[in-house]
Amino acid sequence: MAKRLILVFVFVAGFLSFFSSCRKPFPADNRKSASPESTGYIVKRGDSAPLFIAYTTDSMQMQLAALKGGVIMLQFTASWCSVCRAEMPVIESEIWQKYKSNPNFSLFAVDLKEPVEKIRPFIADTKITYPVLLDPDGKIFKLFALEDAGVTRNVIIDKEGKIAMLTRLYDKDEFGKMIQCIDSLLRIR
């Protein structure tokens, strides 16, 4: 009986630790003292995600407010960004292919200040199949980060419309924690 109680305790402690992982800070570049300001963000975990309306490269309208109740990932990107080009195929294989059939998950790349004629070859080069939103004047980007803060960056939004995680640049360990965060948020009812 004591062994069972210990196992239950270990399981519950592990679960709570795992769940809280997307609520704890995951600073870019493993800097324990990084703040949203030091990574160029003007939003922080726990904030309500700024609402916006945008169009995909196929002219489909997307309203962030309409997605509330699901987990949302925004990946800010641009064709000139070499880190974005490295990260996007990983997002495709490790996140989009895993969750795209889940009706409670949405993923959008948000392309910063580029015309659709430039974005389409970028999509083909990176071999992504997740939707790309147009942000031709950077207005969406500026809702989340300083105008000259740069890409790549990812924003995970929970079912209540609150920011659960922010990343900057591509760090393999942080990327794994982002996947854990998405997993745990999708399990919450």
Torsions phi, psi for 46 (to 5 deg) = 95, -20
pLDDT digits (tens, 9 = 90+) for 76-125: 999 999 999 999 999 999 999 999 999 999 999 999 999 999 999 999 99
Question: What secondary structure letter does DSSP report for 24?
Answer: S
pTM of the model: 0.81
User: CA–CA separation, 155 vs 17, rounded Å?
Assistant: 21
Helix (H) or strand (E) holding 110: strand 105-112
- Is the pLDDT score of 21 beyond 80? no
Instruction: Kindly report whether the peptide bond that precedes residue 57 is cis, defined as omega within 30 degrees of 0.
Output: no
pLDDT digits (tens, 9 = 90+) for 130-185: 999 999 999 999 999 999 898 999 999 999 999 999 999 999 999 999 999 999 99
In 3D space, the residue among 57, 78, 181 whose CA is nearest the CA of residue 138 turns out to be 78
Instruction: Name the token pair of 143.
Output: 């809702």
Which is more confidently placed, 189 or 34?
189
> CB atoms < 10 A from the CB of 37, how many?
11
Instruction: Name the token pair of 25.
Output: 């800070």
- Is the pLDDT score of 48 beyond 80? yes
User: CA–CA separation, 121 vs 135, rounded Å?
Assistant: 17
Q: What is the dihedral of CA 43, 107, 82, 111, to 10 degrees?
A: -70
- Is the pLDDT score of 65 beyond 70? yes
Measured in whole angstroms, the distance separating CA 30 from the mean position of its chain's CA atoms is 17
* Long-range contact pairs involving 145-151 (C-beta distance under 8 Å, separation at least 24): 145/40, 145/41, 145/42, 145/43, 145/76, 146/40, 146/41, 146/42, 148/40, 149/39, 149/40, 149/41, 150/40, 150/81, 151/76, 151/77, 151/78, 151/81, 151/83, 151/84, 151/112
> CB atoms < 10 A from the CB of 109, how many?
31
